[in-house]
Structure 1
Amino acid sequence: MPRTVPASVLAAINSDSFALPAIVLIILANGTRIALTEWDEPLDVDLDGEGVETFSPFQFQQLSAFSAQINAPIDDRDFTIILGATTMTASDVRRGRFDNAMAIIGYVVPTDLAHPWLYCTYDFGQSDIKGMVSRLEMMGPEKRLEQPVGVTLSANCYKSYGDLDCGIPTRADAWADTTDYALHGLVKRLTGAGIYWFKATVAGTSDVAEPTWPTTLGGTVVDGTVTWTAVRARRLIGTVTALVDRRTIVATGITVVGDYFGEGFITFLTGDNAGDKRRVRSDNGTGTLVLHLGAYDDIQIGDTFEALVGCRHRRLEDCVGKHDNAHNSRTLTLRYGGFDFLAGENITATAPKG
């Protein structure tokens, strides 16, 4: 949408009446769109060019100060909301459902809804709750451009597991018949369950029927002209069968090897905690997971979750042993980001003198 101020908005800013309600479009990380307005009636507006949607009345920080400071810096502001309504609750904030969300702020004259003014876009940062009020930090374009310069030298890898720099795919598509698969392509079973995905070690075209998949790590099967090799799945679905408390759960479907999901994540799929994500502290390899932070609500037997394999950012144990990713031969790019062979300050301090 253009940043040019529409004539009706500009006229409202310069008038004595100043009937110019703020409209805020919040887009969550999962794509959910929440349209709010400080006006006392719903407003049907196309703010970001994605189509008309209804902005519902809601209590949040009055944003009229923005329009009074058109040329002011627009970074690092707060968005204060009144909790208790069904649209945005204290539970949503505590569960982190606004993490990685963005807010698009605009203005519109109620008598000219076809010409809104898109004022600015923010990313949500930190949040806190005091009583029935929540404050969400909003970070503007300048914040997004702030990037660290250089690389911090540390023994362990600084990269996030599964990101572009790491280079490990963390999802596999379901197998499909008569499909061309490139070398190193990943698939998972079309039917049945298992702890393995399958990597194309010989590229080719799959057969018309799903093959009988190998049931041992490293096992192979020829499928049409593709050869698949069994590798450990990086995501598995678990079902809770027992629990000690909100931090310690026992589940089926996730038994691989000890510490496989350590420092990984689980995302609850069903139950009172559905949608919540928790980091795994430890995995005993037989189905028992201990979380860093307990679930927000009680976990029930039968609840399901998706578990993502963990990485403790160590060269030998993780990048080489668990993920076989210290050096990715397809791109000839060194993937491991740690400096575990660098002499530390203790070595320097204890070196022989004289």
Structure 2
Amino acid sequence: MLAITPGGLSLMRGRSLRLASLWRITRRDGQVFRFAVHDRPLPFREEDFATYTYTPVQGIDPSSLEMPNGLEDLNLEVDGVTGTTITSDDLRAGLFRNAAVSEFVVNWRFPWAGAIVTTAYTMESLRFNGEDWKADMSGVGKRLTQRVGRRHSRRCDADLGDGRCAAPLGPFTFAAELAQSVSPSSPRQVFVLSGAPAGGLGDDFWTEGTVEWTGGSNAGVVSEVQKSTDGGGGSYTLTLYLPTPNDIQIGDAFTVIAGCNKTATICTSKFANLVNFQGYPTMPGSDKALQGP
């Protein structure tokens, strides 16, 4: 989305143009960050008619941008380093994934005149190596190229417990606090779930499930379970797909929900919910199409 205000147009015609970029990043949790690619703080009045201060930031380097014609996609790549504002813990937790980004190009001598150009992005494919991060940002035009709708497959395309699945999650949800020590070699990825209902749930009962951390240093983070191993007596060793931002410690509170591998077999035997199965298990594959008479 591009827009030029009357005040900005007047400055352009007067040839008194000194450009600075203002960046507003709105994370998924609602927290807002405001940066100025400049050497001093700049006040700027936003869409809600409130004035906010954009502070100078070091270590963020956006790539050059060429304005496309028509509805062509607008892409931008940004390199940065972690610091006190964009921290490594927040990046590990994925809090900046799919964040909404607005860029306001202003005349730094007259920021009160409004933005000369306004551009909206979505932060995608965020990569992080511990110190540096790189984000690919796409404009709103990319949404016009995305496929919308269902894809027919043999597996279910609903999320466990959502409106289409309608499976009750109560019997498959367990809340607890970590009581046993975690793996010394993987303190952010492997932990022991104890006190769960005993009764031979099996090794893969929690596999492909989710863990929502409700207490401790990882509170608010949702992790996906890669593997669960039944240790007997209501004890299970859970391995996460991705490590948590901080070490998992004894006393951390969490809620774990059983996993579903999206097959009709598990939907029947584990959840007794085949009537709401959103896949097509008997759909013929390409082998049937290639068969001769």
TM-score band (shorter)? 0.7 to 0.9
CA distance in 1, matches of 2:75, 2:245: 28
Counterpart in the other structure of 2:178 = 239
Q: CA deviation at 1:83?
A: 1.0
CA distance in 2, matches of 1:50, 1:287: 54
From the CA coordinates, give the structure whose radius of gyration is larger: 1
AA in 1 matched with 2:20? P
- Which string of whole-angstrom CA distances, capped at 9 and with x for unpartnered residues, describes residues 145-181 of structure 1? 33436654432112333455445687xxxxxxxxxxx
Counterpart in the other structure of 2:104 = 106
Residues 131 and 298 (structure 1), Cα distance of their counterparts in 2 relative to 1, 3 Å cut: closer
AA in 1 matched with 2:209? G
- Which string of whole-angstrom CA distances, capped at 9 and with x for unpartnered residues, describes residues 286-317 of structure 1? 34322233435432222222323322112242
AA in 1 matched with 2:39? D
Aligned ranges 1:273-292 → 2 under 5 Å: 273-283=218-228, 284=230, 286-292=235-241
Residues 237 and 16 (structure 1), Cα distance of their counterparts in 2 relative to 1, 3 Å cut: farther
Residues 22 and 308 (structure 1), Cα distance of their counterparts in 2 relative to 1, 3 Å cut: farther
Unpaired segments of 5 or more residues in structure 1?
A: 171-196, 198-231, 328-334
Unpaired segments of 5 or more residues in structure 2?
A: none
Aligned ranges 1:104-143 → 2 under 5 Å: 104-110=102-108, 111-113=110-112, 115-116=114-115, 119-129=118-128, 133-143=132-142
CA distance in 2, matches of 1:54, 1:168: 48
Please tell me whether the aligned partners of residues 208 and 260 of structure 2 are also in contact (alpha carbons under 8 angstroms). yes
Normalised by the length of structure 1, the TM-score is 0.65
| Higher-RCO chain (CA-CA 8 Å, sequence separation at least 6) | 2
- Which string of whole-angstrom CA distances, capped at 9 and with x for unpartnered residues, describes residues 89-137 of structure 1? 3443343221121112222334243633561222111022478542211
CA distance in 1, matches of 2:148, 2:68: 32
AA in 1 matched with 2:208? E
Aligned ranges 1:86-235 → 2 under 5 Å: 86-110=84-108, 111-113=110-112, 115-116=114-115, 119-129=118-128, 133-148=132-147, 151-167=150-166, 197=170, 232=171, 234=173
CA distance in 1, matches of 2:54, 2:104: 11
Normalised by the length of structure 2, the TM-score is 0.76
- The count of corresponding residues between Structure 1 and Structure 2 is 281
Please tell me whether the aligned partners of residues 23 and 106 of structure 1 are also in contact (alpha carbons under 8 angstroms). yes
Q: CA deviation at 1:87?
A: 0.8
AA in 2 matched with 1:239? L
Aligned ranges 1:299-310 → 2 under 5 Å: 299-310=248-259
Please tell me whether the aligned partners of residues 8 and 112 of structure 1 are also in contact (alpha carbons under 8 angstroms). no
Please tell me whether the aligned partners of residues 12 and 18 of structure 1 are also in contact (alpha carbons under 8 angstroms). yes
CA distance in 2, matches of 1:115, 1:276: 38
Q: CA deviation at 1:18?
A: 2.5
Q: Secondary structure at the match of 2:9?
A: helix
AA in 2 matched with 1:243? V
Q: CA deviation at 1:242?
A: 2.5
AA in 2 matched with 1:290? T
Q: How well do the aligned residues superpose, as a CA RMSD in angstroms? A: 3.6
Counterpart in the other structure of 2:247 = 298
Please tell me whether the aligned partners of residues 89 and 246 of structure 2 are also in contact (alpha carbons under 8 angstroms). no
Counterpart in the other structure of 2:30 = 31
Counterpart in the other structure of 1:194 = none
Counterpart in the other structure of 1:61 = 61
